[in-house]
Structure 1
Amino acid sequence: MGRQRRRTSVLVAAAMVLLGQMWAAGSVSSHPGQHGPTDGHLIGDGAFGTIDLLSVERLTSTPELVADVAVSPDGQWAFLANWGEPDCAGPEVGGQTSPDAGAWVVDISDLSDPQQVGFIPSSQDTRPGEGMQVVTITTPRFSGDVLVMNNEHCGKNGKGGISLYDVSNPRKPVKLSEHFGDRANLSLGDANDTHSAFAWDAGAKAYAVMVDNFEAADVDILDITNPKRPRLIRELDLDRVFPGITQIQLGLVQIFLHDIVVKRIDGRWVMLLSYWDGGFVQLDVDDPANPTLIGDTDYTNPDPELLESTGDARRPEGNGHQAEFTADNQHFIGTDEDFAPYGATNFSIASGAFAGTYPSAPVPGSAPIVILPDERLNGPVVYGGYGCPDSAPVPSPSSIPGYEASLATGEESIVVLQRGPTGDPSAPEPACFPGEKAHEAVLAGWDAVVFVQRHGGTENPPFCGSGAFVDEVVGVCTNHEAYHKMFDTPPFTPPWSYPDGPAIGTIGERIEATAAFDGWGYVHLFTNDVTSGKFAALDTYAIHEAHDPAYATGFGDLTVHEVATHPQDPARAYLSYYAGGLRALRIQGGDLVEVGGYLDPNGNNFWGVEVFVRDGRTIILGSDRDSGLWIFEDVG
């Protein structure tokens, strides 16, 4: 059960203690079965507080196959993203394997007995994920319900952009357009990858906004008045167009768009953007081709959650992931997604001419350094290239003459892999996630990976991407300067040009790295009143295990993922909390108070969450990455 903040009133706090004793969520054990014996999983006793479980429609037995969930405007249908098998193969439908990934169509008219009735396949080597939405569009060019799906590469034939389907009859979806987006990167042969998207009907016209994976700071806005012929009408980098949202003084410089919602508020269309270390930003999009800034949020230092749990002053999380307005538009709630409970706080080159300390950061999804027996990563490094599945093969430690013999007691075999490739003429293959690189390293026999900031990267601390890890392997990110100095390969300071770095298989210097606990991600409550261009933070919330070092490993991912606010009750919201389960919150006196949730005796892994009202009942949909659709009711 998540903890409440200290500002909660005495009466509410006392009531919550009593309820907590009654609920006894039981989430204090590590269950090794759901993600394999190394990851473990937080387990519970099922439903507690105001939440009841109504039913489950199991769509897969493959771990981490399910992504986002969307619900039709009439609350009768659910659509769940199939993120694609590790080899990008889809599930069997009607005895045949569907191409790659796509979306399951589930009839939820009977909430106690949901039924999968169809599957919408994505293009070959292409997968949806974060950007599932169903919106009613009524324009002079189209009338009906439109399913919005993002597209990301999952193989050499992958395609990007967004795809739009007419799902007015969900049993017979009709493709309206596919893979439309920013085509600036012509080397891809198609639109840039899109991680998320959101569409809205503005009356005579309709629009969509997208996350551009390859121009990460961009906000790409489309006119979809005719969804068969989308048009790109505006691209803008918020930090360039509206300077000042980057909190460089706090070291928060991973600036990119991750998620978006748009809502009609007080007579104007307002876009709420989750801009990672840029926080949460609001734009006036009455004229979507010419957005104007309303305001943004700042992260506070020290970190409000970690300060309470440890008493230490730490840099704030700064991972603005997703947000929604409350029903009365008086507040908005944002989630910070942080997969790295241990920050890489010390990274050094321990030998050679450039011995010294260099900037570093954890790689979200990789195992923390503290799983190593001596809680220290150390040993000589070897350059392994880019390490993507289509890149030049990562060499094995045994193939490097003299390398294994050079390892001292307590040292690890460490391969160095660059982020990318993007823009390297000698490596035309597509870029990939760090988890995919790490998997190639594990297959080659390496103990750990040092990832290197992209060619020309300027983030400080460095950023090497995140996600797609399938192995428990230690990963640390350092900057491009340290990469050159680890291998004594000039130039040692920017600018760098291709060819870049040593030959694959080159042995470099010894490195040492240690880490310190800094907690998982959590939830923010903001007032929606803007003062001098800023929205004030009112409260934060986290499940107590998320800021307890005892739960840093072996219990699954304990960061929050998404929030869904109640469409009618401005005080209620629901969280998909990965291994922390489903959580229900109330806003009480400016505080976020947990009032219920669900955590299965076999564990959960919730990615998406949606809420709607049917016949006066509050229904919550959760997409469990390892199983499928879970349907709940808030009976509070």
Structure 2
Amino acid sequence: MRTRRLFTALAVASLTAAMAAPVAAHPGQHGPTEGHLLGPGAWGDLQLLGKADLTNTDDLIADVAVDPRTTYAYLANWGKATCDTNRENGDPDAGAYIVDMTDLANPKQIGFIPHSQDSRPGEGMQALQIDTKFFNGTMLVMNNEQCGKNGRGGVSLYDVSNPSKPVKLSEHFGDRANLARGDSNDTHSAFAWDVGSKAYVVMADNFESGGTDVDILDITNPKRPRLIREIDVDAEYPNLVQTNLGLTEVNLHDMVVKNIGGHWVMLLSYWDGGYVQLNVDDPANPTLIGDTDFNHPDPQLLESTGEARTAEGNGHQAEFTADNQYFIGTDEDFAPYGATNFAITSGANAGSYLSVPVPGSTPIVALADDKLNGPVVYGGYGCPDSAPIPTPASIPGYEASLQAGEEKIVALQRGPTGDPSAPEPACFPGDKAHQAALAGWDAVVFVQRHGGTENPPFCGSGGFVDAVVGVCTNHTAYHNMFGTPVSFTYPDGPAIGTVGERIEATAAFDGWGYVHLFSNQVDANKKFAELDTFVIPEAMDPAYAVGFGDLSVHEVATDPNDPTRAYLSYYAGGMRSLRIQCSSPNNCELVESGGYLAPSGNDFWGVETFTRNGKTYVAGSDRDDGLYLFATGP
């Protein structure tokens, strides 16, 4: 297998020049340019046509959806990571912007669909035509994730046949197994499909992540959605997970459904479980078609650095090519430095413990000595509605005990989930880190709650708004840091404010997330072969690991008119265009053919393709701006 990272000579020269000479940022675009990769504008076969600035608040925009039969786009207002409202900058609370793209050079916002209080859409935006006996028109599908005490989950459906007058069909429908929280479980993403007389939507169930997290609703009558199936993919279809490589964080992140050869095929992006295909001709009774494995050693790290290390997994989103011969998957990874060594360095339980990075946190190498070390204080759960995190100064003798080069470190537990002493909702690790930063802590040791993945641990990801160093370790280490008996039942752990042992953690570079090309022909073992990978060069260069924005790929959209082309939203790496070049069906490579990166930088979250007069166009959502529209070259 060969990997390619093609970048035109002109683009390289322009990019280098742009990085050498900072450019003033315009309002709503990132702020200081030193924190973002700067670009030359458009190159190759992508041309910028127009854009719609929708917000004055950074990190506000999420997914983009395009109505395939009209000239309208919908962009998710994701809301601030801290769950605050956006009104101080004139932005509405979470919901969806409606944009008229009749004039591709001058798209205009014409409306806004607000979400319920403390509920926000993100990955799950989709506009499609539905034609059943109960509904005929354009439907907008949106996920709901809770962000605050009044948040509600599930999926929301709107009639946008007349985009200037959207009509709510239903909201917050989903799996209501977690009735203690009063509503449907959080839904991270959603995808709907129309089979003729019936229509369905599949959702990623956040609450049951790692369990029955594939929820399928019958939305034939969109005013009365009905849950018809929950699937625990790993349990129902064994041997999907490469536990021998330590790839054990299994959960549904995204999905698409497409009619291929007369059969409805669901393509699930199943994080460490890889990319999984199910036959959903009968959505209530799916059957396994096959899945992918992550190659060992990691092919991009091996090529870029010569290191033979285990692949990280992180299967995030995927799409089939127009001819269904291939599919392309994107692995999202916000942690270019893996936490490879974590140790308790004092007390009776001194020794090494398993650890992982916390995606979105500041890597350990940002510290002057490339090392996180010092005594740890227990701060509880650390969510906005949790018991307050104590300040370092409030802990008697703590600051005086710090030695040269040590940091003020607070330990925060993942959750809360199921803890009778903490009924408040769980939150992102970034929410916890924000509370820690406000209290005056330098770094956070996130610890896995009991009942979560212990080896390797996982403490969640995302939501970071502060430059806080973070590392995640397991529940056993949590108890041993504070000298309490190792327990996996409530009540649990030390009192908030307890001073524990000293810890030390270091990290090694392992790159950002990248792209996979797979054959869509399953073998006798129900496996799809990986044919190639792609990554932008900066993503595998330690020089760009800190200070240039997130250089992970996020999403892919394939060209509906050309099976050899695809487009990537690459966060701070911009928008990228790829071609699939094959000398034979199983000897193919991904080659960059164009892209766009603004002189002041970008932060692209979503990407969608659409056709007008037989020509393909690309819509991208920039987290700090809004909608970008691109033409594609020959």
The TM-score bracket by the shorter chain reads over 0.9
> Which residue number in structure 1 is paired with residue 444 of structure 2?
449
Q: In structure 2, what is the Cα distance between the partners aligned to 1:103 and 1:253?
A: 34
Q: In structure 2, what is the Cα distance between the partners aligned to 1:187 and 1:259?
A: 26
2:501 aligned with 1:509: yes
> Which residue number in structure 1 is paired with residue 333 of structure 2?
338
Aligned AA for 2:201? A
Note the alpha carbon deviations across 1:254-279, whole angstroms, 9 max, x for none: 10000000000011000000000000
> Which residue number in structure 2 is paired with residue 171 of structure 1?
164
- Determine which of 529, 540, 550 is the counterpart of 1:557: 550
Q: 1:92/1:202 Cα in 2 relative to 1: closer, same or farther (>3 Å)?
A: farther
Contact between 1:388 and 1:437, CA under 8 Å: does it hold in 2? yes
Contact between 2:41 and 2:599, CA under 8 Å: does it hold in 1? yes
Q: In structure 2, what is the Cα distance between the partners aligned to 1:524 and 1:121?
A: 36
Structure 1 residue 39: Cα displacement: 6.9
Q: 1:347/1:124 Cα in 2 relative to 1: closer, same or farther (>3 Å)?
A: same
- Determine which of 254, 272, 276 is the counterpart of 2:271: 276
Q: What aligned pairs does 1:228-627 form with structure 2 within 5 A after superposition?
A: 228-490=223-485, 492=486, 496-531=488-523, 532-589=525-582, 590-627=588-625
Q: In structure 1, what is the Cα distance between the partners aligned to 2:12 and 2:70?
A: 29
Note the alpha carbon deviations across 1:329-375, whole angstroms, 9 max, x for none: 00000000000000000000000000000000000000000010100
Contact between 1:102 and 1:120, CA under 8 Å: does it hold in 2? yes
Q: In structure 1, what is the Cα distance between the partners aligned to 2:532 and 2:236?
A: 30
Contact between 2:57 and 2:91, CA under 8 Å: does it hold in 1? no
Q: In structure 2, what is the Cα distance between the partners aligned to 1:183 and 1:107?
A: 36
Q: SS of the counterpart of 2:535? A: strand
Note the alpha carbon deviations across 1:416-474, whole angstroms, 9 max, x for none: 00000010000000000000000000000000000001222234221000000000110
2:18 aligned with 1:20: no
Note the alpha carbon deviations across 1:485-520, whole angstroms, 9 max, x for none: 000011x2x5x1111100000000000000000000
Note the alpha carbon deviations across 1:389-441, whole angstroms, 9 max, x for none: 00000000000000000000000010000000010000000000000000000
2:96 aligned with 1:103: yes
Q: In structure 2, what is the Cα distance between the partners aligned to 1:592 and 1:261?
A: 21
Q: In structure 2, what is the Cα distance between the partners aligned to 1:452 and 1:72?
A: 43
Structure 1 residue 528: Cα displacement: 0.1
Note the alpha carbon deviations across 1:23-49, whole angstroms, 9 max, x for none: 745167286965455971000110000
Q: 1:219/1:7 Cα in 2 relative to 1: closer, same or farther (>3 Å)?
A: closer
Aligned AA for 2:338? G
Q: TM-score, normalised to structure 2's length?
A: 0.95
Q: 1:184/1:38 Cα in 2 relative to 1: closer, same or farther (>3 Å)?
A: farther
**Any gaps of 5 or more consecutive residues in structure 1?**
none
Q: In structure 2, what is the Cα distance between the partners aligned to 1:635 and 1:24?
A: 21
> Which residue number in structure 1 is paired with residue 585 of structure 2?
none
> Which residue number in structure 2 is paired with residue 146 of structure 1?
139
Contact between 1:38 and 1:554, CA under 8 Å: does it hold in 2? no
Q: SS of the counterpart of 1:483? A: helix
Contact between 1:23 and 1:48, CA under 8 Å: does it hold in 2? no
Q: SS of the counterpart of 1:29? A: helix
Q: 1:36/1:315 Cα in 2 relative to 1: closer, same or farther (>3 Å)?
A: farther
Q: What aligned pairs does 1:108-187 form with structure 2 within 5 A after superposition?
A: 108-187=101-180
> Which residue number in structure 1 is paired with residue 19 of structure 2?
29
Structure 1 residue 92: Cα displacement: 9.3
2:182 aligned with 1:189: yes
Moved more, 348-357 or 72-81: 72-81
Structure 1 residue 317: Cα displacement: 2.3
Moved more, 225-234 or 448-457: 448-457
Q: SS of the counterpart of 1:26? A: helix
Deviation >2 Å, runs of 4+: 5-8, 19-25, 27-39, 85-93
Aligned AA for 1:26? L
Q: 1:440/1:171 Cα in 2 relative to 1: closer, same or farther (>3 Å)?
A: same
Q: In structure 1, what is the Cα distance between the partners aligned to 2:322 and 2:397?
A: 65
Structure 1 residue 213: Cα displacement: 0.5
Q: 1:626/1:195 Cα in 2 relative to 1: closer, same or farther (>3 Å)?
A: same
Contact between 2:204 and 2:252, CA under 8 Å: does it hold in 1? yes
Contact between 2:362 and 2:468, CA under 8 Å: does it hold in 1? yes
Aligned AA for 1:525? L
Aligned length: 619
Q: SS of the counterpart of 2:424? A: coil
Q: SS of the counterpart of 2:15? A: coil
Q: What aligned pairs does 1:44-123 form with structure 2 within 5 A after superposition?
A: 44-85=39-80, 86-90=82-86, 98=92, 100-123=93-116
Q: SS of the counterpart of 2:343? A: strand
Q: In structure 2, what is the Cα distance between the partners aligned to 1:556 and 1:25?
A: 19
Note the alpha carbon deviations across 1:218-244, whole angstroms, 9 max, x for none: 110000000110000000100111111
Q: 1:76/1:314 Cα in 2 relative to 1: closer, same or farther (>3 Å)?
A: same
Q: In structure 1, what is the Cα distance between the partners aligned to 2:351 and 2:567?
A: 46
Contact between 2:3 and 2:533, CA under 8 Å: does it hold in 1? no
2:189 aligned with 1:224: no
Contact between 2:38 and 2:600, CA under 8 Å: does it hold in 1? yes
Q: 1:505/1:570 Cα in 2 relative to 1: closer, same or farther (>3 Å)?
A: same
RMSD of aligned alpha carbons:
1.7
Structure 1 residue 293: Cα displacement: 0.2
Contact between 1:295 and 1:530, CA under 8 Å: does it hold in 2? yes
Contact between 1:48 and 1:596, CA under 8 Å: does it hold in 2? yes
Aligned AA for 1:366? S
Structure 1 residue 140: Cα displacement: 1.4
Moved more, 230-239 or 39-48: 39-48
Q: SS of the counterpart of 2:19? A: coil
Structure 1 residue 630: Cα displacement: 0.6
Contact between 2:361 and 2:464, CA under 8 Å: does it hold in 1? yes
Q: In structure 1, what is the Cα distance between the partners aligned to 2:166 and 2:358?
A: 39
Q: In structure 2, what is the Cα distance between the partners aligned to 1:75 and 1:362?
A: 43
Contact between 1:39 and 1:553, CA under 8 Å: does it hold in 2? no
- Determine which of 180, 191, 202 is the counterpart of 1:198: 191
Contact between 1:38 and 1:472, CA under 8 Å: does it hold in 2? no
Structure 1 residue 87: Cα displacement: 4.3
